[in-house]
Amino acid sequence: MKNAEIASMFERMADVLELKGESLFRINSYRRAARVISDLTEDIKEITEQGRLRDIPGIGESHAEKIEEYLRTGRMSKYEEVMKGVSEEMVAMMQIPGLGPKTIAMLNKELGISSIAQLEEAIKQGKLKGLRGIAEKKIENILKGIELYRTSQQRIALGVAFPVVNRIVEKLRGVKGVLAIQPAGSLRRMKETIGDIDILCTGHNGREIIQAFVSLPEVRAVLAAGDTKGSVRIEEGLQVDLRVVEEDSFGSALQYFTGSKAHNIHLREIAKKQGLKISEYGIFRGDKKLGGRLEEDIYNTLGMDWIPPELREDRGEIEATQEKRLPKLVELKDIKGDLHVHSKWSDGHSTFEEIAQYAQKMGYQYCVVSDHSKSTRVAHGLDEERVLKEIEEIDKLNKKLSGTGFRLLKASECDIRNDGSMDLPDKVLAKLDIVLGAIHAGFKQSKEQITERIVAAIHNPYVNIIVHPTGRLISQREGYEADMDRVMEAAAKTGTALEINSFWDRLDLNDVNARKAKEMGVKIAISTDTHYLDQMWMMQLGVGVARRAWLEKEDVLNTWPLERLLEFCKAKRKVKQGLGIRV
């Protein structure tokens, strides 16, 4: 699909226009269009061909014309005009988290800096010190941003790769001769970022399967095409490798190429002590092959139960299976509702009715409308009056839904202010089914300040979930500094949940923090932070994080039936603040 390509062009245009000091309205319109296009799950080419392009909120007539021109000719004249006079090195600088276009323009004017290499050299020589708006902390953040940029260039976000791989696998599944096919590598382990994409399959006539693979319409360059292996670069700029293996070795190859390296090394050490040898071709005692058709053959021969791919990081999973104490991990089918969805009332793009219908199609029993509160003005946050009106409208809809087995829940993604108080008064929060506490501003506050804000919100009797708890964006920023041990202690003490935000660029909490939360007795909500309904598929990503964190069904709020979920929320309100009673 051209989605990522076009979104990237619009985002670059916005960056360059800001660098040139152009109108903020134009800049934001391009940024919004880029965000809308990157979030689409449908092929923008198909949408355009069906005449639906202008129906997409955020895509204006001007944007549509540029998209149509690009799809028709492979060029976008406005893009070329905007980029004129700006080098690729300058564009790369704009991708550094924490280094905005205004700062880049100032550095270019004052020091002639026009590349990352020049920027690093200037920092090394101390040339940035004393420049307007450049304090020591700023320089430190720029260096961190450069490191984060370089890391992100080497890795692919899971949320970008996941739908691409699914699309390719489904197409290849229908190819004649394919018997079984499965993604491997860090994607199968659901790591938040991955390297190149690896796919394994088994079947008859490997050459024909490879030829079908390299001939897929999304392929832009064929890097290799043999009898058993093909390697291509696709539209999104990603490299995808396909291996065709013997049916009798498919399981062992899948285990080998799924990894992780540390997990596989540990397995091989255990095998060696038992006089066994493991390879991508099978598990052997001497020359005798003991198994390899199934992944289970490898683990069972070693006296273990099969280990889910998400756990294979050598973080205790091998010892757990040896001792028969592997957790029964939460599954996507266990999820009964989404606890973080935005509507048109703030910065979402769907009505209450549309949200309810979509959630029902997904098989959910409930869904939470959690629009922003008033302080998040850029998202058209709701003040007290609008919150009360929203409650009234949701109540009306729920009366219509009576008897369907589905309910829309009333909530707010309520800002946590700088002093730790909530953005809406308790008397309004008390009328909601669920309250989500969130930080959207003040990211540069000290670790102590941020921690105190979150802990204060956790002790509010109406706050049920702290959402995207570290504020990080995988491709853009590390997040604010917070003492997560203190946050989790407060959450466990008060019966407040923490969120795994499933949005592809957040995945926040990450797997390490989510596992720590479980160990400290904190419940987890897995939510999508949906602004467009087709983003609700990302629940799969959040479940992947939860599985990597060893979470079971009982650990996750939205695997619970509605009444139990509501009772969890009400229980905190019954406890007087400060008593330290866990509910």
% the chain with pLDDT above 70: 97
CATH of domain 250-322: 3.30.210.10
91 contacts: CB under 8 Å, gap ≥ 6:
12, 15, 16, 83
Three-state secondary structure call for residue 477: strand
Q: Which of 260-264, 461-465, 531-535 has the lowest mean pLDDT?
A: 531-535
The values of phi and psi at residue 202, to 5°, are -130, 150
Q: What is the pLDDT, as a whole number, of residue 579?
A: 43
Question: Residues 171-184: what's their mean pLDDT?
Answer: 95
Check whether the bond before 557 is cis (ω within 30° of 0): no
Per-residue pLDDT of 152-163, as tens digits, reads: 666 788 998 999
Kindly report the backbone phi and psi dihedral angles of residue 464, in degrees, each rounded to the nearest multiple of 5, phi listed first. Answer: -100, -30
The residue-averaged pLDDT of 337-358 equals 95
E strand or H helix that includes residue 309: none
Instruction: List the single range of 32-41, 291-300, 323-332, 366-375 with lowest mean pLDDT.
Output: 32-41
Residue pLDDT, tens place only, 452-489:
999 999 999 999 999 999 999 887 778 899 999 999 99
The per-residue pLDDT for 154 is: 66
Question: How far apart, in whole angstroms, are the C-alpha atoms of residue 353 and residue 582?
Answer: 36
Sheet holding 465-466, edge to edge: 337-341, 366-372, 407-415, 434-438, 465-466, 497-501, 524-527
Helix (H, G, I), strand (E, B) or coil at 286: coil
- pLDDT exceeds cutoff 90 at 195: no
Question: Is residue 580 scored above 60 in pLDDT?
Answer: no
Q: How confident is the model at residue 376 (pLDDT cuts 50, 70, 90)?
A: confident
**Is the model's pLDDT at 576 over the cut of 70?**
no
pLDDT at 571: 93
Q: What is the pLDDT of residue 153?
A: 67
Q: Per-residue pLDDT for 410 more than 90?
A: yes
Q: What is the CATH number of domain 3-154?
A: 1.10.150.110
The 3-state DSSP class for residue 355 equals helix
CA-CA distances (angstroms) from residue 70 to 2, 77, 167? 10, 9, 23
pLDDT digits (tens, 9 = 90+) for 214-231: 999 889 899 999 999 999
- Give the pLDDT confidence score for residue 342 in this predicted structure: 96
Instruction: Look up the CATH number of domain 156-245.
Output: 3.30.460.10
Least confident interval from 53-67, 310-324, 492-506, 560-574: 53-67
Q: Which DSSP state fits 177?
A: T
Contact 249, 179 (CB under 8 A): no
Q: What's the pTM value of the predicted model, to 2 decimals?
A: 0.82
Q: Which residue, among 105, 260, 123, 193, has the nearest Cα to 472 in the 3D structure?
A: 193
The mean pLDDT of 379-406, rounded to a whole number, is 95
Q: 336-573 in CATH: which number?
A: 3.20.20.140
Strand partners, 366: 337, 407
pLDDT at 546 over 50: yes
Cα-based distances in Å from 354 to 176, 213, 357 = 40, 38, 5
Q: What is the mean pLDDT of residues 333-350?
A: 95
Listed by start position, the domains of the chain span 3-154, 156-245, 250-322, 336-573
What mean pLDDT comes out for the span 175-197? Answer: 93
| Per-residue model confidence (pLDDT) at position 581 | 38
| Predicted local confidence at residue 32, as pLDDT | 86
Instruction: Please list, in sequence order, all residues whose beta carbon lies within 8 angstroms of the beta carbon of residue 393, skipping any fewer than 6 positions away.
Output: 352
